[in-house]
Amino acid sequence: MNFDEELKRRVEKTEEVIRRFLPAEEGFSGHIKEAMNYSMNAGGKRLRPILMMESYRMFGGSHAVVEPFMAAIEMIHTHSLVHDDLPAIDGDEYRRGKRTTHAVYGEAMGVLCGDGLLNYAYETALKGFEYPDNREHIMLALSVLARKTGVDGMLGGQSVDVENEKDGRIKIEKDMLDYIYLHKTAALLEAPLMIGAILAGTDRGAITCMEQIGRKMGLAFQIRDDILDVTSTTEVLGKPVFSDEKNQKTTYVTLLGVEGAREEVHRLTENALRLLDALEGEKAFLTELISHLAYRDK
């Protein structure tokens, strides 16, 4: 298998799915829809919908019911980026080489655009009910989507991170750092793996296993970010390096050193792969993807 070619093919498929669910830029509210679409079309790995699609297929799913959920998880992820970039939080004017939403449309519209994407994500996911044979699965999938992205999930982790920065608490204990990483980052990798399994109709044991895989993946993913901040270059990474050191932030590198952080990424990734290997289904690409994310250079 040529991983790069397979990844490109899946990204293209995901882009096509997302485009079909974007709102039409019309009516008096056309401007906010334009801002939402600008944000959604600003690029990105499309990692979360790809993980969902792979999980769904791995457990034998073969219908389009997964597609509105694929679009919804990317809308929620994008909403979080739009709000992260706002002056009240990070104040970034560029992301992935493009001007951020608030830089193009203004701060007020940036707030509303993020709100719009979050709400529209659930409007989109609810389209799953157009597949009446999957109602029980769709209800459970919606519950996971809400829980993993809410105040006990992604938003909760983001709130703790922001509070620490705004209060000047740059030195934090490992348990709080883990809370931030597991909720702000890992929860949004757990959700698509779980939802794919749920929609395919697999058992609760397998769903829990996918949750644990996403948890270990997410923590490894964020620790790898810590490592790249001190070992990569701005040209390769696409964003400033040494930002954590400049801001005196606690990271896995400051706690364990670069080599210790690398060992932790390796341990978490191997554990995730062992869990995946114990499950049935075609998972060659998903196995490669987990390793690719853990050892990526940007």
Q: In Å, what is the CA distance from 42 to each residue of 11, 19, 36, 254, 257?
A: 14, 12, 10, 32, 34
How many whole angstroms from its chain centre is CA 217? Answer: 11
Residue 54: pLDDT over 90: yes
Cβ–Cβ < 8 Å for 199, 65: yes
Answer positive or negative: Cα dihedral of 156, 158, 161, 164: negative
**Residue among 177, 54, 75 at smallest CA distance from 126:** 75
**DSSP letter string, 156-179:** HHHHHHHHHHHTT-----HHHHHH
CB atoms within 10 A of CB 200: 23
Q: What pLDDT sits at residue 249?
A: 76
Q: Which residues contact 92 (CB under 8 A, 6 or more apart)?
A: 84, 85, 100
Residue 113: pLDDT over 80: yes
Q: What pLDDT sits at residue 241?
A: 46
Q: In Å, what is the CA distance from 240 to each residue of 118, 248, 267?
A: 28, 15, 28
Residue 160: pLDDT over 90: yes
Residue 99: its H or E element: strand 98-99
Cβ–Cβ < 8 Å for 171, 248: yes
98 beta partners? 95
In whole angstroms, what is the distance from residue 260 CA to residue 47 CA?
Answer: 26
Q: What pLDDT sits at residue 133?
A: 79
CB atoms within 10 A of CB 284: 11
Straight-line distance from the first to the last Cα atom of the chain, in angstroms, rounded to the nearest whole number: 22
Q: What pLDDT sits at residue 134?
A: 82
Residue 151: pLDDT over 70: yes
Q: What pLDDT sits at residue 262?
A: 95
- Mean pLDDT rounded to a whole number for the chain: 91
Share above pLDDT 90 across residues of the chain, in percent, rounded to a whole number? 79
Average pLDDT over residues 43-63: 95
Q: What pLDDT sits at residue 232?
A: 56
Q: What pLDDT sits at residue 242?
A: 45
- The domains of the chain are located at 3-294
Q: What pLDDT sits at residue 169?
A: 59
Residue 244 — pLDDT band, cuts 50, 70, 90? low
Q: What pLDDT sits at residue 250?
A: 84
Residue 230 — pLDDT band, cuts 50, 70, 90? confident
Residue 79: pLDDT over 80: yes
SS3 of 251, please?
coil
CATH of the structural domain 3-294, one choice from 1.10.260.40, 3.60.15.10, 3.20.20.140, 1.10.600.10: 1.10.600.10
In whole angstroms, what is the distance from residue 171 CA to residue 250 CA?
Answer: 5
